[in-house]
Structure 1
Amino acid sequence: MTTPRAMTRRRAETRRRVIEAAYDVFAEMGIRDAPVELICDRAGFTRGAFYSNFASKEELFLAVYEVRMQERVERLRTAVAAATAAADPASADAITGVLQDAGELFMESLTADETWYLLNAEFRAQALRQPELRAPTAAAERRFHHALAEILRDLLSRLGLRLTVEPESAVITIVRLYETMLERAILDELPDRAGNRYLTDVLPRLLTALVTPL
């Protein structure tokens, strides 16, 4: 007889495999055109496994979003801690360098992956059109932004700095500006996509304008 605990582990493993397969299929075909059958086939399950865990492809994408964002947050948290460990808070040059490095880390953690950005853009357009998707989408984004805000606040504290605006507002500003520049680079078919100038010049200047000494 199967115990409830074993059932819980099995269901978690099923969800994990479906989520992993879904990202691959979404990346290849887009969210709208991705067949549920193909996702299940890639995961090694039937449609029943899908519908016992997710009510729709949109709910599945939000699960993919949560998993991938959590992975990026953890990588960023580790990288920021390492980048600031040897920094000298008394040195303006060191602070500028760390802010530049942090900018690169933030961008890598956010949407440096063009495919992931395009999937997010597709899903956000759906959420804007479908009222039932707005609340869960907004909640997922808020959780991600809150996690990034905590990392940014910790980074600046290590450098003897603090934000002059709410951390979440700073994160939203950084994210949206980067997404705009990435979108422009994609439309213009620029080879480096995001553009090094944003990482080496614009973003550090933006961060500098938003901080003050403790």
Structure 2
Amino acid sequence: MTASIRILVVDDHILLRQGIAGIVAPEQDMEIVGEAEHGADAIAQFDRLRPDVTLMDLQMPVMDGIEAIALIRARAPDAHIVVLTTYHGDVQAVRALKAGARGYLLKSSLIDEMLTAIRTVHAGRRYIPADVAQDIAMHAAEDSLTPREIDILALVAAGQANKVVARELSVSEQTVKAHLRTIFQKLGVGDRTQAVTTALRRGIIRL
């Protein structure tokens, strides 16, 4: 009999962890061997259990998923990690994949898709849903926002006026306005509201 795929589930919501356990339970080729509620806990559980596949949320307390993925892959370059997130954005997906994730899956996905992703990644292949892959490809040739531009956009998203943003970042208001013009151009938008909406959708910033 073929050994089961041993799965570690990492998410700060116990109901979601229980839901995944319920989905996996009937599958003869899978078993949940451990759970973790944040990234630091995930690293400790990974070291202890050495699971075949880790399902990793991104937004968690203590340590987020992307940092945990990078640290796990540094310890175990062959670790098979599938991101399981509510966030669709291409920028967030790219960050996760660069950190070392082998798969990217939305929590809204169908049960069959999650099971397929687990089996695909366990077999050594990547799993990225077609719509996420399309979004990544669509924006691949675009100039990404700089860290300073992201800082400015995050403050704008928080409702701060240009003069407040300037004071927070110790720059002139004209510098903020110049950065905003560049941000609008890079994102293909015409105003602050569109910039924030686009950045949130793509996972460039988070509220």
With normalisation by structure 2, the TM-score equals 0.30
Q: Specify which structure has the bigger relative contact order, considering alpha-carbon pairs within 8 angstroms and separated by 6 or more residues.
A: 1
TM-score relative to the length of structure 1:
0.29
When you count strand as a share of all residues, which structure comes out higher? 2
